[in-house]
Structure 1
Amino acid sequence: MRTYFCFLLSLFLFSGAKYAVSQEQNDPNLCVGNYYTEEEARSVLRHLKEEYKTKKEWLQRTEIIRQGILNGAGLVPFPPKTPLKPVNTNLRKYDGYSVQNVAVESLPGVFVTGSLYLPGKTEGKIAGILSTHGHWSKSDDYGRFREDAQIRCAALAKMGAAVFAYDMVGYGEMAGWGWKHNHPLALRQQLWNSVRALDFLLSLENVDPERIAITGASGGATQAFLLAAVDDRIKVSVPVVQVSAHFFGGCVCESGMPIHKSESHLTNNVEIAALAAPRPMMLVSDGDDWTKNNPEVEFPHIQYIYRLMGAEGKVENVHFPDEGHGYEFSKRKAVYPFLAKYLGLSLSAIKDANGEITEKDITVEPYKKLEVFSEASPRPGYAILTNDGVKW
């Protein structure tokens, strides 16, 4: 690895440092936003490929990357896993699925709010899916409440999965209480919330621990590939419009803590996403954001790693060159068959008489209906209402 680090040191002095010194935290170990140019990123991947030519060498690299994420996020050791104490409110039943709002305690007093989508009818064990959301912040296009997120969760529930959609730190009800998304430790809290959201999903008695997936777009994809990287209970992952060799995420929840770089290592989101190997993964990319090079740059590198792991056929890239940043119907239409294949879901449950995928029988709910707490179901008095109130 010495040759690689010498190369990266020279690259950092030339280009990376110009970005690091501009960060609010002024931490030289932060890799933020467009940390590399596109050409620099290509060069990094070429050098990385020379550093692991066998499965053994890649597995050695994975331990360095995984430990770097956990150390950088301040999650070594893991906090104690305290009782989740789920709060369930307001069950609604629709055509082929139901929705119930749920809050769980990721830490004592830290309520992670979300909604649980379940199939209308179940027999035996069912798959479980975590649905993460990105930084959509407009009042009419917001977080897990946005139309495309609701539709995706409902469709997957109709196909036979239990789907838990949960709020990012400082989004949804948490925002109204006083939580901030741009807090310096948002990445730590968010990754831990994802671990505990997975604990909740697996606590459901009919969920099959061997059929667990995670999917989200943009910042939601960052959450997806980070959790898949550090928690092998995730068996299938679908990060949408986010995996990039040159772009490291522009929010503190993605790159505001030193998960990519330390005194002894430097990685990128391509390698982090590849930690999912040999578990099935689909990369979804488009032609109008930082994933525009996926077919020629990022995907071949990840495919190479899957080949080392003997699982080349388990990774796919679906690219939409004429589309932009989002998780719209065209992208969902590509993802549903992939998840059906690896989770044993019923794709026919969302097909019309002509065999075409349809989402027409799904109800998009008003935002208020998706909130856990209300006058009828008040928030517990001991709830922590700000980021700084958390006791780690």
Structure 2
Amino acid sequence: MSAGDPLGRRAFVVGAGAAVLAGGAVSPAEAGVVDGPLPDFHPALKAELNFPLAWGTSPVRDFRAWRRTARAKVEEHLLVDREDGTPYAPRFTRRTQGDGYTREVVTLSLTHHERVRAALLTPHGPGPFPAVLLLHDHGAKFDIGKEKLVRPWYDDTRLASAQTWADTYFSGRFVGDELARRGYVVLCADALGWGDRGPVTYDQQQALASNFYHLGSSLAGLMAREDARAADFLAGLDRVDARRVAAVGFSMGAYRAWQTAALTDAVRATAAVCWMTGLKEMMVPGNNTLRGQSSYYMLHPGLPRFLDFPDVASIAAPRPMLFFNGRLDPLFPADGVRVAYDKLRAVWHSRHAEERLHLKTWPDLGHVFVDRMQDEVFSWLDAVL
């Protein structure tokens, strides 16, 4: 090696295999061809995913033991430690009266790293009340988080943005306020990156997630831990009947809802609107998941070697769960929804609890949570809680 030839005669080969070393041409099959965001061998990778820890496939045959084993596997892949010893230390401020309920901002510690602000709505009356942990969506809109679901009485500058979001996805309603009027305590907090904890930009999400991984942690794992802690906090409030706590969400919020139910028994019922699918059926060319970016909020590296999405949700069985999907939803192919629903149905059937699982595909709807869907969810919550 010389100063004029710093690499000497060494060859650096990337993705070319033995053909380059032999001096021959490289065929597409020999090279590491990438088709858009998918490697050319992605079908082989998919074929290797058989989800060996899923109920019915797992060698663990006792359901309670399986739940413990599966939950431990999920927790292992969150890459974020539990926060059982961190005091919530809630501080309640900005109290005002709504239409049949009281509104407050509560600031609390969901982890030992930072304090988080949440909207807390409490119906008028003596209580204790049933309660809903309300989990906001992604939507690539970061200036509002909890304000997507609870009318922001504390910040007029966000009201126009929040109302536009409600008009687009929720028939103009603020779902949290509707639930409070119906007699539910409602807690809704910002996930990292939204509202008071942001806003990030769309293109910053991947870097944010990467930096978490470099720091030995996980963006998706943090969100999962915070949501579980929020559910435990809500269930522990004196105004709440801990036997009647639900998690409810739309889109990414739906993912968060069933994930939270899998991680904590504080959630006694779950309504997940527009987020359930089989992983392999979702990862097809053109699907939004393949872009990266927003998918990092729902990515636990290595977990699919053990469990599919419906397998994780099934950890909450046989508690009541509702899943809605729109047949026109471009984010979740019909094959993926069908695979997931079949898996869920089999688990609840094995527990003789089919009546506790409500699965529905709305034939004329896409990725929305409109008023008629809400009304059915509200009635279902009234029945199961």
Instruction: Tell me the distance in 1 between the aligned counterparts of 2:205 and 2:79.
Output: 17
Q: Which of 250, 257, 264 is the equivalent residue of 2:301? A: 257
The aligned counterpart of 1:51 is: 57
Q: Tell me if 1:342 matches 2:348.
A: no
Q: Return closer, same or farther for 1:71/1:315 CA change in 2, 3 Å cut-off.
A: same
Structure 2 unaligned spans of 5+ = 1-31, 149-165, 210-217, 284-288
Name the SS of the counterpart of 1:199 in structure 2. Answer: helix
The aligned counterpart of 1:137 is: 140
Instruction: Tell me the distance in 2 between the aligned counterparts of 1:151 and 1:201.
Output: 20
The aligned counterpart of 1:240 is: 273
Q: Tell me if 1:225 matches 2:258.
A: yes
Q: What whole-Å deviation, never above 9, does each CA across 1:20-50 have from its counterpart, x for those lacking one?
A: x969xx9xxxx9xx9998xx79x96999676
Q: Return closer, same or farther for 1:293/1:337 CA change in 2, 3 Å cut-off.
A: farther
Q: Return closer, same or farther for 1:57/1:170 CA change in 2, 3 Å cut-off.
A: same
Q: Which of 224, 228, 236 is the equivalent residue of 1:203? A: 236
Counterpart amino acid of residue 174 in structure 2: I
Please list, as runs of the form range in 1=range in 2, the aligned pairs for 1:24-173 lying within 5 A after superposition. Answer: 51=57, 56-75=61-80, 78-119=82-123, 121-138=124-141, 142-146=144-148, 147=166, 148=170, 151-173=174-196
Q: Tell me if 1:323 matches 2:365.
A: yes
Counterpart amino acid of residue 185 in structure 2: A
In the TM superposition, residue 189 of structure 1 has moved relative to its aligned partner by 1.4
Report the aligned-residue RMSD.
3.6
Instruction: Tell me the distance in 2 between the aligned counterparts of 1:151 and 1:134.
Output: 13
Q: Return closer, same or farther for 1:311/1:224 CA change in 2, 3 Å cut-off.
A: same
Counterpart amino acid of residue 146 in structure 2: R
Instruction: Tell me the distance in 1 between the aligned counterparts of 2:341 and 2:323.
Output: 8
246-255 or 277-286, larger mean C-alpha shift:
246-255
Counterpart amino acid of residue 219 in structure 1: M
Name the SS of the counterpart of 2:232 in structure 1. Answer: helix
Q: What whole-Å deviation, never above 9, does each CA across 1:111-164 have from its counterpart, x for those lacking one?
A: 222201111x22332111100011123378x43222249721111111111110
Instruction: Tell me the distance in 2 between the aligned counterparts of 1:100 and 1:340.
Output: 24
Name the SS of the counterpart of 2:108 in structure 1. Answer: strand
- Kindly indicate whether the alpha-carbon contact (under 8 Å) linking 1:106 and 1:112 is maintained by their aligned counterparts in 2: yes
- Kindly indicate whether the alpha-carbon contact (under 8 Å) linking 1:239 and 1:282 is maintained by their aligned counterparts in 2: yes
In the TM superposition, residue 312 of structure 1 has moved relative to its aligned partner by 1.1
In the TM superposition, residue 322 of structure 1 has moved relative to its aligned partner by 1.7
- Kindly indicate whether the alpha-carbon contact (under 8 Å) linking 1:202 and 1:209 is maintained by their aligned counterparts in 2: yes
Count of residue correspondences = 306
Q: Which of 334, 351, 354 is the equivalent residue of 1:312? A: 354
In the TM superposition, residue 238 of structure 1 has moved relative to its aligned partner by 0.9
Q: Return closer, same or farther for 1:321/1:75 CA change in 2, 3 Å cut-off.
A: same
Q: Return closer, same or farther for 1:69/1:122 CA change in 2, 3 Å cut-off.
A: same
- Kindly indicate whether the alpha-carbon contact (under 8 Å) linking 1:283 and 1:318 is maintained by their aligned counterparts in 2: yes
- Kindly indicate whether the alpha-carbon contact (under 8 Å) linking 1:128 and 1:208 is maintained by their aligned counterparts in 2: yes
- TM-score, normalised to structure 1, is 0.68
Q: Return closer, same or farther for 1:195/1:18 CA change in 2, 3 Å cut-off.
A: farther
The aligned counterpart of 2:212 is: none
Instruction: Tell me the distance in 1 between the aligned counterparts of 2:278 and 2:63.
Output: 18
Q: Highest relative contact order (Cα 8 Å, sep 6+), 1 or 2?
A: 1
Q: Return closer, same or farther for 1:167/1:219 CA change in 2, 3 Å cut-off.
A: same
Counterpart amino acid of residue 79 in structure 2: G
- Kindly indicate whether the alpha-carbon contact (under 8 Å) linking 1:68 and 1:260 is maintained by their aligned counterparts in 2: no
In the TM superposition, residue 100 of structure 1 has moved relative to its aligned partner by 1.5
Instruction: Tell me the distance in 2 between the aligned counterparts of 1:254 and 1:73.
Output: 10
- Kindly indicate whether the alpha-carbon contact (under 8 Å) linking 1:306 and 1:315 is maintained by their aligned counterparts in 2: yes
The aligned counterpart of 1:193 is: 226
- Kindly indicate whether the alpha-carbon contact (under 8 Å) linking 1:58 and 1:305 is maintained by their aligned counterparts in 2: no
Q: How much identity, in percent, do the aligned residues show?
A: 21
- Kindly indicate whether the alpha-carbon contact (under 8 Å) linking 1:128 and 1:201 is maintained by their aligned counterparts in 2: yes
The aligned counterpart of 2:307 is: 267
58-67 or 234-243, larger mean C-alpha shift:
58-67
Q: Tell me if 1:332 matches 2:374.
A: yes
In the TM superposition, residue 204 of structure 1 has moved relative to its aligned partner by 1.7
Counterpart amino acid of residue 66 in structure 1: R
